[in-house]
Amino acid sequence: MLGGISIWQLLIVLGIIILVFGTKKLRNVGTDLGGAVKGFKKAMHDEEKNKEADKEDADQPHAKVSHEEPGNTYDVQAEEKQAANERNEERK
């Protein structure tokens, strides 16, 4: 059978465990163990969803980069100087 252990020996061991710990404590242990397994399965499922979402995000660009240079630049100081010169010429 199970490595030389018979069903009667397993029942005796189970009976001793029930006598030592009591059914209430064993029920609590079973409930805690079941909750832990359920939480582990949920965490694994959520991790798989996160990996799929990250994979989809990696395929799409985060920002658009352009290396186009503008044709003309706007010089504010030069325009102010030109306006000042025009005003001076009008005064003369």
Residue 29 domain-assigned (yes or no): yes
Residue-wise pLDDT for 13-42, tens only, equals: 989 988 998 888 888 988 999 999 999 999
Residue 36 domain-assigned (yes or no): yes
Number of independent structural domains in the chain: 1
Q: How sure is the predictor about 49, in pLDDT bands with cuts at 50, 70 and 90? A: confident
How many helices (H) does the chain have, and how many strands (E)? 3, 0
Residue 62 domain-assigned (yes or no): no
Residue 26 near residue 17, CB atoms below 8 Å: yes
Q: How sure is the predictor about 47, in pLDDT bands with cuts at 50, 70 and 90? A: confident
Residue 77 domain-assigned (yes or no): no
Residue 69 domain-assigned (yes or no): no
What residues make up the domain containing 29?
A: 23-51
Q: Which residue has the higher pLDDT, 34 or 87?
A: 34
CA 48 to mean position of chain CA atoms: 10
Residue 45 domain-assigned (yes or no): yes
Q: Which residue has the higher pLDDT, 70 or 17?
A: 17
Residue 40 domain-assigned (yes or no): yes
Residue 44, Ramachandran bin (φ over 0: left; ψ between -120 and 50: alpha; else beta) = alpha
Residue 92 domain-assigned (yes or no): no
Residue 19 CA to residue 27 CA, distance in Å, equals 13
